[in-house]
Every structure is written in C-alpha cells, then in structure tokens.
Structure 1
Amino acid sequence: MAGPLAALRRAAAKADAQTPASRDRALDGLRALALLAVPAGHWMLGGLTLSPDGALHNASPLTSLGFFAPASWLLQMLGVFFLVGGHSSVRSLERARERGAGTPAWLRGRAVRLLRPVLGVAAVWALLIPVLHRLGVPDGTVRTGSVLVVQPLWYIAVYLGLTALTPWCVALGRRFGGRSAAAMLAVVALVDALRYGPWADAVPSWLALVNILPGWMFAYQLGVLWAQGRLGRRAARLLLLGGGALFAALLLFFHYPASMVGVPGAARTNSHPPSLLVLALAAVQCGAAVLLRERIGRLLRRPLLWLPVVLVNLSAMTVFCWHQSAMLAVAVPGAAAFGAVPGLTTAPDSPAWVAGRLVLLPLFAAALVGIGRFARRFDGPWTSFPRAWKAVAGAGAAAFAVYALGVV
C-alpha cells in the first residue's frame, strides 16, 4: 500500500511543480467538475432495457422516478461549463493577439482541437458497426449505441458557435457590461412567455428555436464579463440569489418541468431548446462559481487535490466523446452473458435500479480509463497518422454521421 501511495504523492508533486504560478487553478477545477458531471449525468439519468430479442434500448429513470428529477439540478452543470468556456476563450484570444495571430487563425486552432476527437470517435464507430453486426450484436443495440454516442456531441456544435462569436461577446461586454447577459435572459423569458402563455396555440412551434442562441450564450457571456473584470462578488451574489428565486418561482408558480433534461413522453422539456429554468440554474451555478473561486484556488494548491484536476483537463475531450462508449462496453457484453442485470439492463423504474447503477459507476469509469488509453491519441495533432489513415478516418466519420443522424 505504501508503494502506490508514495507513487501517487510523487506524481502529484511533479504535476504541482510543473504548473506555472500564473495558472488559474480554480478555473481548471471548475472545468473538471463540470466535465465530470457529463458522464455522471448520462450514466445516472439514462438507462437501458433488454427487449425479448436481446437488444438494448434507451430508457429514462425520470419517466418513473419523479423524485429523481432534482438530481438533474446537480448533474447538469452546463452553466459552469459555458462560464469557464467564455472566460478561457477571452484569455486565449488575448494571448493569440499578443503573438500577432489574427482572429481567424485563433478560431481555426480552437475548432481543430475540438473536432479532432469528434472525428476520431466517429471514425472508430464507423469501423465498429460492421464488426458488431458480424459478432451477432442485435441491430437494436447497434442503433441504441449510435444514438448514445451522437447525443452529447450537440454540445460541440454549440460551443464552436459561441467560440466563433467571442469577439462580438467581448465587444458587447465592453459596451453594455452586465446588461449584455441580462438581455439574453430577457429574450428567453419573452419566448417562454409566448410559447407557454394562454396564447400558446397561436404561436408557431419554430419560435422556441429562438432560445437556442441566447439560452446557451447567457453563461458564456457571463464568463466573458468575468474575464473582463466586470463580474465581481456583488454581481455574483445577485446571480446566486436572484437565480435561485427565479428557479423556485418557475417551478412552484409557473409549473416548469422539474427535470433539467428531457423526459420521454413529456409535453415540455427544459433543455431542447433551453428554457428560462435552464438560465435560472445557470445563474445560480455561475454566481456560486465566482464566489467560490478563491477558496477553490486555495484548495487546489494541495498537490493531491490538484493531480486529478490536471488529469481530467488533459483528458477532457476523451472523457466527453467516449463516456457513452464506456457504458456500452460494459452493457453489451453484460447483456449477452447475463441477460437482465440490475442497474444495467433492467428497467429504471425503482430505487433498486438507482442502487444498482451507483454500484456500476466505478465499472463504467474503469472502462472509460481503459478506452482513454487508446482514444487520447485522437486529441492531439495527428502528425503520426499516415495520410491514408486520415482519409479513411474522414470517410468513416462521414459515413457514421449519416447513419447516426438517420437513426436519431
């Protein structure tokens, strides 16, 4: 036991020593926390059921376990993710301009870093689908797997769009300050009032799409303001308390769905596109993050706490792109070998399922670590890959995209 512990301490000390003094550890810690909430949320708020033909199908515990909805308030941390993203993009753009790089070059670099891992996971799945069919995996399972892999990738498209708008967000922040974020909240509130009010039947369904840009840009703009020094502790308290009051009012008096993620069969959803409840939660999360920044930074001065943050940030895109594949890597052979496994392939309709799923989380995490040892090579520059492999990867990714979009 002393040997592994000593090795862990040495690794932590090395990571601590290699971190520049100017590094904002609190931002890295917040990013790691929001990132880990993605697999935790998908693993806990998404289930699988086994049909008579042996195929796996998606199922949500929120359909039967209404008391489970508050878990989505903790596991949906996109507010923190976009807050840190906005802050980091401003700092990154400033450094690029100091080096003499233009905005197009900066944006191209950011896009390549985000899209390489997406291309990698899509290419691997394009090769994996025929292999799974040959191994006798049911078609329903393959379709379910494709949907699970594709579903989280919408975030990449949204994040790329917001990144492209960073110069305009900076300009808005300089000119209007906090009003730039408040205007986005006001737009979402107006759209929600139109689509959920007594006149909703006369409102076209496409109006909800208006919420996509201001809904997700709200927290990103707060991050831009934070980087500009325009989001202090006083504003953070207003976000925390005001967002909390708005969140409670929307739930208690305006009957918004309690779940922050979509529930199959529900007439309304908060997340696609984002509703005002999503922005209220984001305000609470962002306010808390700003208020806790110094405390988090002090905690992460401890090498043993800093090491996991470093590892998560270094593997950010691997975790994001491959966490659903890790769950499937456990569920598919588990279903083939054992059939109905509590918490894995049984209906998510009881507290026993929740307990079983909690027990399985370490197994999913271990599978993700194992996959990550292979998949991390897609995150960095592909200079070591032959040109022919890159062409095959591009074609395979395109084929998987067509297949997956057809399934979704």
Structure 2
Amino acid sequence: MRRLRQLADHTPAGRERYVDLLRAVAIVMVVIGHWSVTVVGRDATGRPTGHSALGDLPWAYPLTWVAQVLPVFFLVGGFANAASLTARRARGGDASGWLLDRSARLVAPTTALLVVLAIGAAGASLWGIEAAQLRQVVWSATIPLWFLIPYLAAVALTPLTHALHRRFGLAVPVALVGLVALGDLGRLTGPTALATGSYLAGWLAVHQIGFAWYDAYAGTRPAEGRQAGRARHPLPTSRRAAVALLVGGFGALLLLTTLGPYPVTMLHVPGQRPDNTSPPSLALLALATAQLGLILLLRNPAERWLRRPGPWRAVIAVNSVVLTVFLWHLTAALLLIGLLDAVGLLPTPAVGTAAWFAWRVPWLLLLAVVLGGLIAVFGPIEARSGRHPPAEGGATGRPARMTPVAAGYVAVTAGLLVNSITPEATPEPVGLPAPALVAYLAGAGLLRLLRSGWGSRG
C-alpha cells in the first residue's frame, strides 16, 4: 500500500490517467469473460475437460459486443507507445533503446509463464503422464499468448508505423482497413490466402488510431506538443466526433451482422464462418469504431473520477501486474479444476442449466483466490521489469544495434506463433513444441543480454 501511495502521489500532473484505466478494465473484462463461459465436463475416461459455453448459448452472442475488448487494448497500446517513443526521442534516445525498454515489460512475465509450464510438464512427464495429455493442458494454459503475437509485432513495428503516421496520418489506418476488407473478400469468395495479412493489418489499424489519439492529447499539452514537434495528425475528439464514431460504428456493425455475411458474435465460436476475430474482420473494426466513440464520450467524467486517490491507486495496482493477470488467468482455472477434481468436489453441471449458472459465482470467487496467489508469486517479475531503467542509445551504432534487437523480437514472436499453430493433440513431453521453446528462449535471452548492455560497447 505504501508503494501504491508513493506512485499515486508522484503521478505527473499531465499524465493521461484514462489510458491506464482503459488498459486495466480491458484486461479484467477479458479474464472475467473467459472464466464466466468456462464449461467443465469429463471425457470417456473420466478426466476433466473444458470448453467455452458460447457455442451452446446463441442468445448470448450480442453480449460479445461488450465482452470483446481487445481493440481497446490495441488502442491504448498505440497511445502509450506513441507517448513513450516520442518522449524517448526527446531525451536523445533511439528506437532500438525504446524497443529494448518495451521488451522488458512484455517478455519477462511471458518467459516466467513458459518456463514454469515447461518445467511442470517435464516433471509430470517423468511421473508418467502421457505427452498428449501434457500438451492439452499446456495448450490450454497458453491460449492467452495468441494475443501477444500481433501485439509484439505492433510494438516491434512502432518506429516504422509511427513514422508513417507522422507523414500520412489517418490515411495509414484507412489503408490497413482496406487490406482487411480485401482479406474478408478472400475469405468469403476466395482465395482465402488474401486474409493472411489481416491477422496483423486489423490490429495495426487500431494501434495507429492510438497514435492519432496521442497527437490530439499532445496538442492540448504544450510540453507534450514540443516533444512531438507538433501534433500533425490528431484524432478528432470533440463530442460531435465521438457521437459520430459511436453511431457510425454501431450502425455499420448492425448492417454487417444482419444484412451482411458476418456472424453476430465477436468472439471465437467453433464452426462460425467467417470468424470475426481470427483474423480481425470489418465487423470487428466496426465494433472498434463504436468503442472508440464511447471511450471519447466517457473521457472527461472518467478523468475527474481518477483524480480521487482511491480509484487511481486501484488502477495503478492493476496496471503494475496487468500482463501477469492476463497470462496466468487460464492457468488459475486449470489449477482449480485439478484441485477440485483431486478432492472429489469438482461440479460438472450441463451448460445453460440452473446449476451451471448458480456455479458461476463461487467459481469466479475461487478463481480470483487462485489467481491472487499466482500474482503474489509472479507479479513482482512484471513490477520489477516495469521499473527497468531506460536503455538510452546514442547516435553512434544505432543501425548495428537495431539488427540484434529486431532478431530478438522475431525469435520471440516466432516461438509464440509456432506454439499457437501446433495442434492441441500433438504429443509434447514438455507441453510446448521444442522449436517454439528454443526460439522463444533464444530471443528472450538475446533481448536480456542487449538490455544489460552487451553488444553496445565499441
């Protein structure tokens, strides 16, 4: 509590606290959403199994318009990345130093998760657990990592995409939306390969809007405006613009999901085509537009509320471990299922029944307790990495250092990607595909060496 009070008391007067609130709310909503739709059953051998209830609850599909908040995370990520990169350059730093600083907060908590899962799976393998079963458990625990793949790519590309924003402004996200539209056309009429670029283009479009939002914010703050040179391409943030975004985005979403070919649900449901999330579709971007309008409308009352010490300390507390919360929340579910099964107290009510709905309350409370324990153990890793001193870079040696930094990001992202596309049923003695684990750890190790100063001398 003392640490939280100190952080709250030393918050810069010009900080956009609303961005921190949005990040915290988005991740908490993702966690609660995943937990709430969990269905626990048993397979033919009596072992616990789990799946999402969404496929069995079509009446809940419109609720996913509220539950799908990953666009919010990319929006605030774009704002935060633009702000920190601009500040870094104003202090004389370079893009490679900024990327190293960013990697500390993202990679360290992810490494902790993967290493713990691999060690745990290796121990279970020695105990005699089948490799296919180990992969199923670890695959479930690493589902959140699919989100980090496009986000790490967005961070790695920020020096380039921010430069494009400084030159072309909102034309960049418009072009990216065009690529998503082309990908949707490919998914609907062929060839489906046209949609490959949408996996990145959709999220980058939202990330670019975050840049424009930061320009609008910097334009109202003389200090930030001087750091940015000038706010060249600000996002329109007036009340009229916010209403237009909300109404236009919501209207487009209704048309695309009723008269158009897109499903109503904004979360993954097996068998629905086209999937609105994998890759992001025009319907999902319409939802993101409506969310942006609502965010802008709520900003002023939210900022006033965040001037109160209590709410601001709560936001700081969540943000200090926000990635830990996200990464470990499904592991918490697996641990709770295993514990309840071991003591013979695991309920398996059928989805949609009164018993299933009644079980939601104790289920969420027990999960919060388990996740709280995991945060107590692993949260300090993220908190320490967030306080990592900036790795400033001088003018000399910039091109040479950017190459290994980029290589580190590529290896880390490739490792996560290989794990995500490796089927759940693939036997893996350590739960993770060996190439994925090797690539990820090599990239993480390289970034750690570079943050320590290795390779920057001479």
Instruction: Count the aligned residue pairs.
Output: 379
* Structure 1 position 353, deviation (Å): 2.0
* Selected match of 1:187 from 179, 192, 206: 179
Question: Could you say which residue in structure 2 is the equivalent of 1:306?
Answer: 312
Paired AA for residue 307 in structure 2: R
Contact residue 340 and residue 346 of structure 1 kept, 8 A? no
* Selected match of 1:331 from 324, 337, 344: 337
Q: Distance in 2 between matches of 1:351 and 1:195?
A: 39
Question: Could you say which residue in structure 2 is the equivalent of 1:250?
Answer: 256
Larger mean CA deviation between 268-277 and 82-91 belongs to 268-277
User: Using a 3 Å threshold, how does the CA distance of structure 1 residues 70 and 115 change in structure 2: closer, same or farther?
Assistant: same
User: Using a 3 Å threshold, how does the CA distance of structure 1 residues 265 and 338 change in structure 2: closer, same or farther?
Assistant: farther
* Selected match of 1:293 from 292, 299, 302: 299
* Selected match of 2:372 from 356, 369, 373: 369
* Structure 1 position 67, deviation (Å): 1.1
Give SS of 2:197's match. Answer: helix
Give SS of 1:228's match. Answer: helix
Question: Could you say which residue in structure 2 is the equivalent of 1:84?
Answer: 76
Question: Could you say which residue in structure 2 is the equivalent of 1:205?
Answer: 192
Paired AA for residue 244 in structure 1: F
Matched, 1:284 2:290: yes
User: Using a 3 Å threshold, how does the CA distance of structure 1 residues 336 and 226 change in structure 2: closer, same or farther?
Assistant: same
Q: Distance in 1 between matches of 2:263 and 2:435?
A: 29
Q: Distance in 2 between matches of 1:285 and 1:404?
A: 38
User: Using a 3 Å threshold, how does the CA distance of structure 1 residues 179 and 97 change in structure 2: closer, same or farther?
Assistant: same
Question: Could you say which residue in structure 2 is the equivalent of 1:239?
Answer: 245
Give SS of 1:269's match. Answer: coil
Question: Could you say which residue in structure 2 is the equivalent of 1:402?
Answer: 433
Q: What's the Cα RMSD here? A: 2.9
Q: Distance in 2 between matches of 1:237 and 1:382?
A: 36
Q: Distance in 2 between matches of 1:249 and 1:382?
A: 43
* Identity score, percent: 35
Matched, 1:357 2:386: no
Contact residue 180 and residue 281 of structure 2 kept, 8 A? yes
User: Using a 3 Å threshold, how does the CA distance of structure 1 residues 325 and 266 change in structure 2: closer, same or farther?
Assistant: same
* Structure 1 position 146, deviation (Å): 0.9
Contact residue 240 and residue 287 of structure 1 kept, 8 A? yes
Matched, 1:175 2:167: yes
User: Using a 3 Å threshold, how does the CA distance of structure 1 residues 306 and 105 change in structure 2: closer, same or farther?
Assistant: same
* Structure 1 position 190, deviation (Å): 3.1
1:144-200 per-position Cα deviation (integer Å, ceiling 9, x unaligned): 32122221112212111111222333233333333322222232223323432xxx1
User: Using a 3 Å threshold, how does the CA distance of structure 1 residues 354 and 134 change in structure 2: closer, same or farther?
Assistant: farther
User: Using a 3 Å threshold, how does the CA distance of structure 1 residues 164 and 404 change in structure 2: closer, same or farther?
Assistant: closer
* Structure 1 position 358, deviation (Å): 3.5
User: Using a 3 Å threshold, how does the CA distance of structure 1 residues 167 and 381 change in structure 2: closer, same or farther?
Assistant: closer
* Selected match of 1:150 from 137, 142, 146: 142
Give SS of 2:142's match. Answer: helix
Contact residue 187 and residue 195 of structure 2 kept, 8 A? yes
Paired AA for residue 350 in structure 1: T
Q: Distance in 2 between matches of 1:264 and 1:256?
A: 14
Question: Could you say which residue in structure 1 is the equivalent of 2:67?
Answer: 75
Matched, 1:102 2:133: no
Question: What TM-score does the superposition give when structure 1 sets the normalisation length?
Answer: 0.84
* Structure 1 position 275, deviation (Å): 1.1
User: Using a 3 Å threshold, how does the CA distance of structure 1 residues 347 and 59 change in structure 2: closer, same or farther?
Assistant: farther
* Selected match of 1:39 from 27, 31, 41: 31
User: Using a 3 Å threshold, how does the CA distance of structure 1 residues 26 and 56 change in structure 2: closer, same or farther?
Assistant: same
* Structure 1 unmatched runs, 5+: 1-7, 384-393
Give SS of 2:144's match. Answer: helix
Give SS of 2:41's match. Answer: strand
Q: Distance in 2 between matches of 1:328 and 1:141?
A: 13
Matched, 1:127 2:127: no
Give SS of 2:21's match. Answer: helix
User: Using a 3 Å threshold, how does the CA distance of structure 1 residues 94 and 281 change in structure 2: closer, same or farther?
Assistant: same
* Structure 1 position 405, deviation (Å): 6.8
Question: What TM-score does the superposition give when structure 2 sets the normalisation length?
Answer: 0.75
User: Using a 3 Å threshold, how does the CA distance of structure 1 residues 143 and 400 change in structure 2: closer, same or farther?
Assistant: closer
* Structure 1 position 11, deviation (Å): 8.2
